[in-house]
Structure 1
Amino acid sequence: MTDCATPHAGIELDVINLSKDNKQSLFKSNLNSNNSKINYQAFIKYILKKMLDNTSFLSFSTQIKNVNQILKMKYSSANDIANVILKDVALTTKLLKLVNSSFYGQFSNKGITSISEAMIILGTQEIKLAAASLKIYDFMQNIATIKILKVKTLRSLQRSIIARQIALDEEIKDAEAIQISAMLYDFGEYLVALFSPEVFITIELLLDENRLTRDQASKSIIGISYGMLGRFMASKWNLPESIIHAMKPVENINCSKNDMTIEEFKRTICAFSNELCNIDFSMGDDHIRKKIMEISTNYESCLEIPASKSVELLKMSRHKITQHSSILKTSTKKI
């Protein structure tokens, strides 16, 4: 892999008109008309308005400032970072429970009693990422009011675990983007399912009827891909550019690992993790086996992860979530 990185974060929506008007009925009428594509600016404006009207989103938008502060503290002292985390009592409590468990593969005979101690034992970078990931995961979980959103939230956690493990195995330097990028990889789809379920269903029907990717199907209906929508919304939170860039889908998975830049490799890891976690595990063993083989083969040249390793990654991520379900307040019945 080469070290050159693409400077732009992949947000192709530089100017969005956020003037008033455009209600949900506009999208319903469009979906029932011959011209089924929705004006993407109107749709984004609608989603942003729904976010502003949602108490949980407003609260999280305030809290995300602390998450950003944590992520951008590259040269700050451990005490400075710990003080930011300690402002959130619930986050501190959950984080200490996780670091005292086997979730991060580390153990302390006496038990870790403070965030500062956790940084000494596990590393400052590890704790920064853990705190940011937990904050985002908790937010997505708390606003998940329907089954499809709960499933997506759990899969986002599973993706982040798999992506993180691949990054560790590859010994990627400065791999902080991957864990959170993988977690937010389908954030655009999550927002559409949450705030515009009738549009989400229309896109799902299109997927069933045509051989399209999720991004292709979403773009054909709302004029913007799920991926682009998610990256745009993440940019509104001022997340680090490296995180947003790694959320961008890859266009070429047939290139050699050695020919990719580090940024391209991170994007490929997120895409691969997403495909693995989107397998329908309610189907029979033959279907699951076939899908794992298919995904592993598709990414063979750029990731060099055999099907056997893909199975291990899926088992490992599920085991971690199951083992720590009481801390994460979740259930693996959804994955």
Structure 2
Amino acid sequence: MTACATPHAGIELDVIDLSKENNQSVFQSNLNSSNGKINYKAFIKYILKKMLDNTSFLSFSAQIKNVNQILKMKYSSANDIANIILKDVALTIKLLKLVNSSFYGQFSHKGITSISEAMIILGTQEIKLAAASLKIYDHMQDLSNIKVLKIKTLRALQRSIIARQIALDEDLKDAEAIQISAMLYDFGEYLVALFSPEIFIKIELLVDEKHLTRDQASKSIIGISYGMLGRFMVSKWNLPESIIHSMKPVEDINVLKKDMTIEEFKRTICAFSNELCNINFSMGDSHIREKIIKISASYESRLQIPASKSVELLKMSQHKIMQHSSILKTNTKKD
């Protein structure tokens, strides 16, 4: 892989200027327009207002600030980082349970008894990411009031596990963005399903009827792709730019692995993990097998992950979720 590219200032989100739009009136007036397309600026303001009016989401946003504080502590001591985590008793307990489970591997018969000890054994960066991931996942779970959101939250967790494993296998020295980026990869879709289910259904119908991607269908209906909506909303939390950048879809999957920058490689890992986790596993074995082979082949030049390895990644991630469902507060049973 080639050297890192120049930081992508603005991450193309600076094109979104909401200052001249009326609140949700434009959105409401366009909702029933003849062409069915919504003014995207008005729609974004509508979603933002819904977020501000939702007590649970306000709590989520507040917690994300703590996550951000943890993630941005690159040059702080382990004690400083541990103290931030320790302020959240529930997070501390869950994190210690997780690091003592086979999710991360058993390290001693006595077990890890403190966050500081966990940092020594697993590494400060690993614990920072684990804490941040647990925070985000917990709150996405709490907001999952309908089946489709529960499924999306589970997929987000599975994506993060797969992306993390690929990063480890590739021995990436700076894998900070991968785990969180993969978890938040379809955050725009999650928000629309949560706050505007009628629009979400319209987009799903368009995907089925026109055989479009979800980004294409969402852009057709709301004037902005799910991906860009998610990155815009996440940018409001001031998360590290590397995390937001890795959420951006891959434009050319035929670029050779050796010709990619580190940033492009991370984006590819997130995109690949997302496609694997979006397979409809309720279909027959032949359908699932065909989808895995097709996805693996389409990313062959970039990732060089054969279908057999893709199957292993899916099985590994599903096993971890099932095995540690009680710690992760995950309901793996079908409704």
Alignment TM class, shorter chain as reference: over 0.9
Write the deviation string for residues 26-50 of structure 1: whole angstroms up to 9, x where unpaired.
6566344322110000000000000
Deviates more, 1:185-194 or 1:106-115: 106-115
Q: How far off is 1:266 after superposition?
A: 0.2
- The match for 2:17 is 16
Amino acid aligned to 1:207: V
In structure 2, do the counterparts of structure 1 residues 13 and 39 end up closer, same or farther at CA, with 3 Å as the change threshold? Answer: farther
- The match for 2:160 is 160
Name the TM-score, length of structure 1 as normaliser: 0.96
Q: Is the 8 A contact 2:27 2:46 kept in 1?
A: no
Write the deviation string for residues 217-266 of structure 1: whole angstroms up to 9, x where unpaired.
10011000000000000000000000000000000001110010000000
Aligned to 1:117, the other structure's residue is in SS state helix
Give structure 1 stretches of 5+ with no counterpart.
none
Runs of 4+ residues deviating >2 angstroms:
9-16, 18-23, 25-33, 105-108, 331-335
- The match for 1:5 is 5
Write the deviation string for residues 150-169 of structure 1: whole angstroms up to 9, x where unpaired.
00000000000000000000
Q: How far off is 1:58 after superposition?
A: 1.2
Q: How far off is 1:113 after superposition?
A: 1.1
Q: Is the 8 A contact 1:154 1:334 kept in 2?
A: no
**RMSD, aligned α-carbons:** 1.6
Q: Is the 8 A contact 1:13 1:232 kept in 2?
A: no
Q: How many residues align?
A: 334
- The match for 2:309 is 309
Q: How far off is 1:332 after superposition?
A: 2.8
- The match for 1:88 is 88
Q: Is the 8 A contact 1:119 1:126 kept in 2?
A: yes
Distance in 2 (CA, whole Å) between partners of 1:204 and 1:243 is 27
- The match for 1:251 is 251
Distance in 2 (CA, whole Å) between partners of 1:315 and 1:228 is 30
Distance in 2 (CA, whole Å) between partners of 1:184 and 1:78 is 26
Deviates more, 1:228-237 or 1:100-109: 100-109
Name the structure, 1 or 2, with higher relative contact order (CA <8 Å, separation 6+).
1
In structure 2, do the counterparts of structure 1 residues 15 and 255 end up closer, same or farther at CA, with 3 Å as the change threshold? Answer: closer
Q: How far off is 1:10 after superposition?
A: 2.3
In structure 2, do the counterparts of structure 1 residues 138 and 202 end up closer, same or farther at CA, with 3 Å as the change threshold? Answer: same
Q: How far off is 1:15 after superposition?
A: 4.2
In structure 2, do the counterparts of structure 1 residues 78 and 108 end up closer, same or farther at CA, with 3 Å as the change threshold? Answer: same
- The match for 1:42 is 42
- The match for 2:275 is 275
State yes or no: 1:146 paired with 2:146.
Answer: yes
Percentage of identical aligned residues: 83
Aligned to 1:185, the other structure's residue is in SS state coil
Distance in 1 (CA, whole Å) between partners of 2:311 and 2:146 is 29
- The match for 1:137 is 137
